[in-house]
Amino acid sequence: MANPCGVSFGACLLRVTRVDANGNVIAGNNAYISDKLIQVTVNPNIETGNNFPVRNGCGCKIASRKFPDTFNYWDLSLQDAALEPQLIAFMLGADTIEDGADVVGVAFPSSLSCEEQAPAVAFEFWSENVVGSGLDPTYPYFHWVFPSSVWQLGDNTFEEGPAQPTLNGFTQTNGNWGSGPYGDGPPDGQDISEGGFWATNDDLPTAECEAQAVTSVS
């Protein structure tokens, strides 16, 4: 029997896809898939609702009215085990440094002017669906999708030991993502404009140390 209520374990694979200012997928070599991620953090950005207490002249509570807290967006961060120039370039909207056919580095972008739109990517990752001591046989993975996100470099340390590149980002609503361009979107076509996750038995995409083609648009 399928168990979609298993334990989400690990962070197995990452995929980013460039999207334009309207959230449409940009066709061409505009996707990157990595199996070198260490950690992804996903935290809700919550705006506290207004609170209006009413007290009398002696400071005693007469009444109060509290409005609900409001979800704004998701704060994201990525910690990687390797320095992947093409991945970083896509996430920052930066130009690459190339040596022949090889992407060997990133030229850090300058600050955006007021009229410029921040470059954005759809951000997806997969975790395992663990039941007992193994993967669920029907739905072995959880697929997490945030259809538009904007990123900057985080705090990075270089020392005696491996560097672990860090990027920080936040999500945006993207009603143009639909089910995505890869044929592995929500099985019921549910709206994930703000993001979402689901248990899945779709084959995981293949990681490569280079840009990959987006063959269709959402």
Q: Is the pLDDT of residue 44 over 90?
A: yes
What is the tens place of the pLDDT at every residue in 62-121? Answer: 999 999 999 999 999 999 999 999 999 999 999 999 999 999 999 998 887 676 788 999
pTM: 0.92
**Residue-level length of the chain:** 218
Mean pLDDT computed over every residue of the chain: 93
pLDDT digits (tens, 9 = 90+) for 104-141: 999 998 887 676 788 999 999 999 999 999 999 999 99
Q: Where are the domains of the chain?
A: 7-47+73-214
Q: How far apart are CA 64 and CA 48, in angstroms?
A: 15
Using DSSP, state whether 85 is helix, strand or coil.
helix
Question: What is the reported pLDDT for 120?
Answer: 96
pLDDT value of position 110: 84
d(CA 146, CA 78): 13
